[in-house]
Amino acid sequence: MKPDQFEEPVWIYVGVNVPRPVASPTQAFVFLDNCPAGLRGPAHGRALEACRSAMNGRAGTESARAALIAFAEARGILAPDFTPAFAAHGASAPAARPFA
């Protein structure tokens, strides 16, 4: 694991039943920065700030991960962890591409 990566990716629905892994504070920040206005709110702001702090070294990556999970849960876009399913089939998870 790279020092700027989450211990485990966070899976988020970016479309109807389209999950994507978010594996770092930088990926989370890009995802959050591109979120539609309808998903924004207090949890969104807290998650953005947590990611910014992690990227600047003022906070740990897992704090950013926890804030991203809280945001995704609050908005109903947290997907189950699909990593084991990909590993069981000898495949790697798709690259995190917010809203792609």
- pLDDT tens digits in sequence order for the chain, 100 residues long: 566 899 999 999 988 888 999 999 999 999 999 999 999 999 999 999 999 999 999 999 999 999 999 999 999 999 988 665 554 545 555 555 554 4
pTM: 0.81
- Which tokens in the block code for residue 80? 């189950």
Residue labelled with tokens 């770092």 = 24
Give me the pLDDT at residue 99, please: 46
Q: Which residues touch 21 (CB under 8 Å, ≥6 apart)?
A: 9, 10, 11, 82, 83, 93, 94, 96
Give me the pLDDT at residue 81, please: 83
Give me the pLDDT at residue 75, please: 95
Q: Which residues touch 45 (CB under 8 Å, ≥6 apart)?
A: none
Our separate counts of H helices and E strands in the chain read 4, 2
